[in-house]
Amino acid sequence: RAFLDEMEAALQSREFVLFYQPQVDLQSGEVLGAEALIRWQHPTRGLLPPGAFLACLNGSHLEAPLGEWVMETALTQLRNWQALGLHTRVSVNISANHLLRADFCERLAQTLARYPDVAASRLELEVLETAAIGEMRQAVDILHNCMELGVRFALDDFGTGYSSLTYLRQLPVHTLKIDQSFVRDMLVDPDDRGIVRGIIELAKAFDRQIVAEGVETMAHAVALRQLGCHHVQGYGIARPMPAAQFPDWCAEWL
Ligand code: G
Ligand code: G
Ligand code: NA
C-alpha cells in the first residue's frame, strides 16, 4: 500500500521514464522502430527496472493510469522524433487488465486524437500472448475495435502461451514476437530451434510479421536469418537506451 502510494506520487512528479530498444531488419538494414520499456528514476534508490515495481502495480488502481502514461509518452516521443525527421514506430507494453477494460478503445481514441500529426500506425501495442487468449472473445473485440483506429498489435512472448491455431487466426495482430527464451537457446537446443522455426513458418502461413527477441550475438542473428527471420531485437543490436540517444543511434546504425 505504502509502495503504491509512492508510485502514485511518482507518476504525478514524473519519475517514470521510458527507455527505447531498437528493432531492426538485418536484411535491409532498416530501423523498424523501438520497444518502449519503463524505468523508475527513483529519487533515492536510482534507476529501477520494471521487475522492481510492475508486479505490485498489477491489479491496482494505478495499472490503467500508468499504461495510459506510457502510451501518451510514446506518442509525445514519436511527435518529437518526427519533428527531427525521424519517422519510426514505437511499441508499448499493455498489461492484460488494462487492455481488457471496457473503456480501453475509447480512451485510446481520445489519446490518439491529441496527436493528429502522428499516424496511429506508428504506435504498436504489445500484448502478452497469455493475456490475449485468457479472455479470448473480449480480446478479439477489443483488438478489432482498436485496430480500426489504425494502431498495430503485437503478440508478446509468443510461444509461451499455448495458442491454438484457431486462436491465432482469430486474433487481429500484425506481429508475433518470439519469446527470448527460445531464441537464447536455439543455438544449443534443437527443440528450441525447432520451436523458433515453427513460429516463423506459422507467421508466414498466417501472413504475420515476426520479431525475434533476445538476439544477443551475431550467431543468433545468422541462425535466425537461415530460418527466414530478419526482424530482430536484443542486446546484440542495442540495449534499451534513453530517448535522447535514439536518433544518434539510428544515424550511426549501419
Ligand atoms: O526492461 P526489462 O527487460 O527489465 O522489462 C522486464 C519486463 O517488463 C518485460 O517483460 C516488459 O514486457 C515489461 N515492461 C517493460 N516496460 C513496460 C511497460 O511500460 N508496461 C508494462 N505493462 N510492462 C512493461
Ligand atoms: O517481455 P518483453 O518482451 O517485453 O521483454 C523485454 C525485456 O527483455 C526487457 O526487459 C529487455 O531489457 C530485455 N531484453 C532485451 N533484449 C535482451 C537480450 O538480448 N537478452 C536478454 N537477456 N534480455 C533482453
Ligand atoms: Na514486450
Q: pLDDT at residue 79 above 80? A: yes
User: What distance in Å separates the CA atoms of residue 69 and residue 64, rounded to the nearest whole number?
Assistant: 8
How long, in residues, is the chain?
254
User: What distance in Å separates the CA atoms of residue 227 and residue 27, rounded to the nearest whole number?
Assistant: 13
Distance 67 CA to ligand 1 centre (A): 11
Nearest-CA residue for ligand 1 atom 15 is 37
Task: Say what the pLDDT of residue 250 is.
Answer: 97
Q: List the beta bridge partners of residue 12.
A: none
Summarize pLDDT for 120-155 with one digit per residue, the tens.
999 999 998 887 777 888 999 999 999 999 999 999
Summarize pLDDT for 167-202 with one digit per residue, the tens.
888 889 999 999 999 999 999 999 999 999 999 999
Task: Say what the pLDDT of residue 129 is.
Answer: 84
Task: Say what the pLDDT of residue 24 is.
Answer: 98
Summarize pLDDT for 54-70 with one digit per residue, the tens.
999 999 999 999 999 99
Dihedrals phi, psi of 191, to nearest 5 degrees? -65, -45
Neighbours of ion ligand 3 (CB under 5 A): 93, 126, 156
For the entire predicted model, the pTM comes to 0.96
Task: Say what the pLDDT of residue 136 is.
Answer: 86
Task: Say what the pLDDT of residue 166 is.
Answer: 79
Pick the CATH number of 23-35+61-244 from 3.20.20.450, 3.40.640.10, 3.40.50.10490, 3.50.50.60: 3.20.20.450
Ligand 1 pocket: which of 58, 62, 93 to mutate (most atoms <8 Å of CB)?
A: 93
Q: pLDDT at residue 164 above 80? A: no
Q: Is the minimum distance from the CB of 216 to ligand 2 under 6 angstroms?
A: yes
Q: pLDDT at residue 163 above 90? A: no
User: What distance in Å separates the CA atoms of residue 200 and residue 177, rounded to the nearest whole number?
Assistant: 10
Summarize pLDDT for 92-123 with one digit per residue, the tens.
999 999 999 999 999 999 999 999 999 999 99
Task: Say what the pLDDT of residue 187 is.
Answer: 97
Ligand 2 pocket: which of 130, 176, 213 to mutate (most atoms <8 Å of CB)?
A: 213
Task: Say what the pLDDT of residue 112 is.
Answer: 98
Distance 23 CA to ligand 1 centre (A): 16
User: What distance in Å separates the CA atoms of residue 76 and residue 125, rounded to the nearest whole number?
Assistant: 15
Task: Say what the pLDDT of residue 239 is.
Answer: 98
Q: Which residue has the cell 543490436?
A: 237
Eight-class DSSP state of 61: T
Contact 159, 179 (CB under 8 A): yes
Summarize pLDDT for 209-250 with one digit per residue, the tens.
999 999 999 999 999 999 999 999 999 999 999 999 999 999
- The ipTM assigned to this model is 0.96
Contact 247, 43 (CB under 8 A): no
Contact 16, 69 (CB under 8 A): yes
Q: Is the minimum distance from the CB of 22 to ligand 2 under 6 angstroms?
A: no
Q: How far apart are the first and last CA of the chain?
A: 48
